[in-house]
Amino acid sequence: MATTLAAKKNENQGLEGFLKKLSDIKIGGSSGLKVRQKDMVYIFRNLSTLLGNGLSLNKALATLQQEKSLKKYQSLFLTMEQHVNQGSTLSSALTQFPDSFHELLVHQIKVAERTGALVETITRITEQLENGANIKALIIKKLTYPVMLSIAGAGSMTFMLLYVVPTFEKMYSEAKAELPAITQFLIAVGRLLTDYLPIVVGGIAAVVTLSVLTWRNPNGRFRVERVLLKTPLLESWLRSIAILQFIEVLGNLMDSGFTLAEALPHTSKGITNSVVRRSVEDLHKAIVRGERFSRELLKRSHIFPPVVTQLVIIGEQTGTLPTATQQIRVHLRREVERYTNLLTGAIEPVMTIGLASAIGGILMAVYLPMFDMIGAMNH
């Protein structure tokens, strides 16, 4: 009897222990809540303002919970406040939400807590996030019109080939009209599209799927981006964006007290272009071996523009590299804006003329036989 009771007790303890471990498991460290970039800017701007005016960290987090515009992040702020009340630092509280806060951002705050420059660092992070958001908004704004124009043009031509052309073909067939070569060609394209529509749609779907899979594969994406970096018009634009991402993080980390060697390993995490990211990783290895930063940039002149390299050289010679990175950031932001305007300025007229010519050609091919028929009737 005693043995049975002891066995049951052990079983219950084992079950309780298992349930406790199960309840302690954190999948992804958070609910998987993603914080949008503009919300991230708003969160850190408010946090910087509150802390800068003397409010304690736990009260600042409690204040953020009351913000109506941040209501969906209320549970996140509550959990962070609870961690801080238990003696945790801000960086430690942020690590509970790896899906919400980037590892690099958390690391910057962790260093700032050690150096006593938390408010200054949060302000710099806010500026970095705002600059990134502004560049992204600029690119989206400039590319929206060409993309919408492409979709509208492709939709119009497809509609005309599938519905308008067959209607006129039937009418001309009944009238036994003689069709010019351009109209015959258009009708043949329309028939081909109609007869093999499932195959055409399947082919487009296959191309899109293959493109997505290639882009998601690290080696595939590297090869694609390497080609894009050699493409006229795109080369300077994509390179400027990637170098700006690199310098933004590097400058921000050095302003926060990182040395060049300490900052470089973290900079690659902020670069979206895999070719430039790999080049920066190689750059870090060279710096660890004792090579000069500017000399290594010169070796990679196909990636780093001359202006960037020269400003780094001046910064090294004068011992003002963090200041030099600030100047480089200003320069690169202007370059990204300039190249974005140049790119869209070149694309828009070409697309407009191309689509107008294509649609005009279809209309001409459709109506030419009708004009011929009207002319024959008048004679």
Arithmetic mean of pLDDT, 303-308: 90
Q: Do 62 and 210 belong to one domain?
A: no
- What band does 269 get if pLDDT is binned at 50, 70 and 90? confident
Cα→Cα distances 57→61, 62, 312, Å: 6, 9, 37
- Of 48, 66, 101, the domain-final residue: 101
Please indicate, yes or no, whether residues 54 and 139 belong to a single structural domain of this protein: no
* Dihedral angle, C-alpha 164, 165, 170, 175, nearest 10 °: 110
Q: What pLDDT is recorded for position 252?
A: 84
Residue 338 lies in a domain: yes
Same domain for 227 and 133, yes or no, is yes
Looking at the predicted structure, is the pLDDT value of residue 1 above 70? no
Residue 150 domain-assigned (yes or no): yes
Residues 185 and 315 in one domain: yes
Q: Mean per-residue pLDDT for 194-214?
A: 90
Q: How many domains does the chain have?
A: 2
Using one digit for the tens of pLDDT, what is the confidence trace for 42-67? Answer: 999 999 999 989 999 999 999 999 98
Same domain membership, residue 329 and residue 248:
yes
Among 262, 299, 302, 307, which residue's Cα sits nearest to residue 283? 299
pLDDT attached to residue 32: 63
Same domain? 170 vs 42: no
The verdict on residue 121 lying in a domain is: no
Listed in order, strand segments (DSSP E) in 43-129 are none
Q: What is the band of 377 on the pLDDT scale with cuts at 50, 70, 90?
A: low
Name the nearest CA neighbour of 362 among 161, 200, 153: 161
Asked if 304 and 266 sit in the same domain, the reply is: yes
Q: Is residue 190 part of a domain?
A: yes
Domain boundary among 101, 119, 135: 101
pLDDT (average), residues 136-154: 88
In a domain, 59, yes or no: yes
Residue 312 included in any domain: yes
Burial (0-12, 13-18, 19+ Cβ within 10 Å), 86: exposed
Q: Is 62 in the same domain as 150?
A: no
The verdict on residue 4 lying in a domain is no
What is the extent of the structural domain holding 88?
Answer: 30-101
In tens, the pLDDT along 330-347 reads 899 999 999 998 888 888
Residue 9 lies in a domain: no
Q: CB count, 10 Å around CB of 18? A: 10
Residues 229 and 272 in one domain: yes
Note whether 173 and 69 are same-domain residues.
Answer: no
CATH number of the domain bearing residue 170: 1.20.81.30
Per-residue pLDDT band for 202 (boundaries 50, 70, 90) equals very high
Same domain, 192 and 325: yes
Domain check: are 46 and 185 in the same one? no
